[in-house]
Structure 1
Amino acid sequence: MTSLEAKIIITSATKNIMTTSDKIALASFITAFFSFVVTIVIIIYTNQQNRLSVKPILKIIPYDFENNIAIYIKNVGVGPLFRNKLEFKTKTETASNLIDLMPKHSTLKWTNFSRFPDFVIPVNEQEILIELKGDLNNNEFNEFKTEVRKALKEITIYCDYADIYNTKFKSKPENLDYCYGRHFK
């Protein structure tokens, strides 16, 4: 091999390091790699969105009418609410059922109340904790209603709940004085 032939071989080897098929293969690899990265990012965001799209939101709704006193727990979120823990506290007592902190009456009965330890509340549904309905012309009912309001104004409600992914949530403590204490100020 002469020096001229060696020079031609070296020159052609340095000029065409990558052939056209090598360039296409490299471009395909880069495209596949970025597609893989984009897919992973989309999966992460989709998973986060799926968790947010079924998030329950607990709302405690006290009713205080002349002929009806009630407290409901409502799910105003977009996914089912799994109640884990519900506590009712006064300055001296703690109970897992609201009816246990209510005054007793010899003749009048509660219209509705709940003693369920755990329950699931579907979207836009509610669970009754207590409900008392009566006749305004009945003096016994009016006196008992006042006793119930006095008891309710001292109570704070604490609730822990979860979504379908078992993500834990705590509701803010709900003091019932704003609703029932106004009658005694």
Structure 2
Amino acid sequence: MSNMDFANLMQLDTLFETLVAKPDVANAVAAIGSAVLAAAACLISLVSLYVSHRTAKHQETHDRMSVRPLVYIGVGDYENRIYVKIQNNGVGPLILKRITIDGASEPDKPLIHAMPKLPPMAAWTNFVEDISSRSVPPGGEVFLVDLEESSSVSRAYFTLARDSVRVTLGTLTIKVEYTDIYEQHLPVAVRKLSWFHRHSLAA
């Protein structure tokens, strides 16, 4: 045994004898030890609680991102069809809250209300009136207005209707307000419909 080990052993013996001779000191040391252990246990509990909270927040963020919708305002302008639609290109359900039609005389009304009156023997293929709180699944779409040649008596009637609708659409801007299933408001989707005027601009 080295001198250092012997010295440490002697110190332990002395401490033990002191504690035996003075019970009050022993009780005080025991109380201090218990308090230290209790404080350590409390600290460990607080750290565990913090870690659990952070983990839960991280999981919640991940869950929200994993079901986030993404609005795409699609347009179609063809010889036999013209339309404006809202498509959900995200990974979660899309909840439509409000659609504003800038440039229309009544911006808060559905797009169909901003459209010109169709000539006789021509009719809309599809349109929507009320979209409030309407749900669109991932990959799903809603046609705000849709005009196909098949809905008119003849191509001539359709062409008159299409050209009239094309002129009106080109003056408008669509704004779509929407949320995810957690009621979280996402950035407003905006698209100018000047694309419908490209023929007149080219001329």
TM-score, length-scaled by structure 2: 0.74
Aligned-partner Cα distance in 1 for 2:69–2:98:
15
Structure 2 residue runs without a partner (length 5+): 1-13
Q: Is the 8 A contact 1:88 1:98 kept in 2?
A: yes
Farther-moved stretch of structure 1 (64-73 vs 83-92): 83-92
**Identical positions, percent:** 26
Please tell me whether residue 134 in structure 1 is matched to residue 143 in structure 2. Answer: no
Q: 1:150 to 1:24 in 2, by over 3 A?
A: same
> How far off its partner does 1:6 sit?
10
Q: Secondary structure at the match of 2:197?
A: helix
Q: Counterpart of 1:176?
A: 193
Deviation at 1:50, TM superposition (A): 1.6
Report the number of matched residues.
Answer: 177
Q: Give the direction of change, closer, same or farther, for the CA distance of 1:9–1:171 in structure 2 (3 Å limit).
A: same
- 1:29-59 Cα distance to aligned partner (Å, 9 max, x none): 5544432221111011112222222211111
C-alpha contact (below 8 Å) 1:73/1:129 kept by paired residues: yes
The C-alpha deviation readout for 1:68-120, integer Å capped at 9, x for no partner, is 10111011112111111112121644242111111112220011111123211
Pair 1:124-2:133 in alignment: no
Contact 1:56–1:163 under 8 Å retained in 2: yes
Q: Which residue of 30, 33, 45 corresponds with 2:58? A: 45
Corresponding residue of 2:175: 158
Query: Could you list the runs of 5+ residues in structure 1 that have no partner in the other structure?
Result: none
Q: 1:146 aligns with which of 152, 163, 168?
A: 163
> Aligned partners of 2:100, 2:43: CA distance in 1, in Å?
57
CA contact (8 A) 1:159 1:170 kept: no
Residue type at the aligned position of 1:169: L
State the shift of 1:160 in Å. 1.2
TM-score between both structures, scaled by the size of structure 1: 0.80
CA RMSD of aligned residues (A): 3.1
